[in-house]
Amino acid sequence: MELNSASKEQLAQWEQDLAAEYQAIKAKQLNLDLTRGKPSSEQLSLSDAMDGILNGDYKTADGTDTRNYGGLDGIAEIQAIGAEILTAPVENVLAGGNSSLTLMHQAMSVAYFFGLNGADSAWSKESTVKFLCPVPGYDRHFAVCEHLGIEMVTVPMTANGPDMDVVEKLVAEDHAIKGMWCVPKYSNPTGVVYSDETVQRIAALGKVAAANFRVFWDNAYGVHDLSAEPVALASIFDACKAAGTEDSVLQFASTSKITFAGAGVAFMAASSANLAGFKKSLGFMTIGPDKINQLRHAKFFAAPGSLKAHMEKHAAIIKPRFASVLSHLEEAFGNNDLGQWESADGGYFISFDTRPGLAKEVVKLAGEAGVKLTPAGATFPYGNDPQDANIRIAPTVPTVAQVDEAMKVFVTCVKLASVRQALAA
Residues that bind its own copies (CB under 8 A): 38-39, 41, 44, 47-48, 51-56, 58, 65-71, 97-99, 101-102, 105-106, 109, 113-114, 140, 143-144, 146-147, 256, 260-263, 281, 284-293, 296
CA dihedral 145, 151, 157, 163 (to 10 degrees): -130
Nearer to its own copies (CB atom), residue 51 or residue 330: 51
Q: With DSSP H G I counted as helix, E B as strand and the rest as coil, what are the percentages for the chain, rounded to 5?
A: 45, 15, 40
Helices (DSSP H) in 228-384: which residue ranges?
236-243, 272-285, 291-300, 306-333, 359-368
Q: How many CA atoms lie within 13 A of 71 on its CB side?
A: 24
Compute the least distance from the CB of residue 137 to its own copies, in Å: 16
Nearer to its own copies (CB atom), residue 41 or residue 335: 41
Nearer to its own copies (CB atom), residue 83 or residue 144: 144
β partners of residue 154 = 133
Nearer to its own copies (CB atom), residue 261 or residue 326: 261
Compute the least distance from the CB of residue 44 to its own copies, in Å: 4
Nearer to its own copies (CB atom), residue 109 or residue 160: 109
Other residues' Cβ atoms within 10 Å of the Cβ of residue 159 = 10
Nearer to its own copies (CB atom), residue 213 or residue 260: 260
Compute the least distance from the CB of residue 104 to its own copies, in Å: 9
Give which of 111, 151, 102, 107 is closest to 131, Cα–Cα. 151
Compute the least distance from the CB of residue 135 to its own copies, in Å: 19
Q: How many CA atoms lie within 13 A of 310 on its CB side?
A: 23
Compute the least distance from the CB of residue 321 to its own copies, in Å: 17
Compute the least distance from the CB of residue 196 to its own copies, in Å: 32
The reply to whether omega before 230 is within 30° of 0 (cis) is no
Q: How far apart are CA 153 and CA 130, in angstroms?
A: 7
Nearer to its own copies (CB atom), residue 341 or residue 349: 349
Compute the least distance from the CB of residue 364 to its own copies, in Å: 25
Q: How far apart are CA 74 and CA 180, in angstroms?
A: 27
Give which of 298, 265, 263, 256 is closest to 78, Cα–Cα. 298
Give which of 154, 160, 254 is closest to 202, Cα–Cα. 160
Nearer to its own copies (CB atom), residue 74 or residue 339: 74
b/e per residue 297-332 (b: at least 16 CB within 10 A): bbbbbeeeeebeebbeebbebbeebbebbbebbeeb
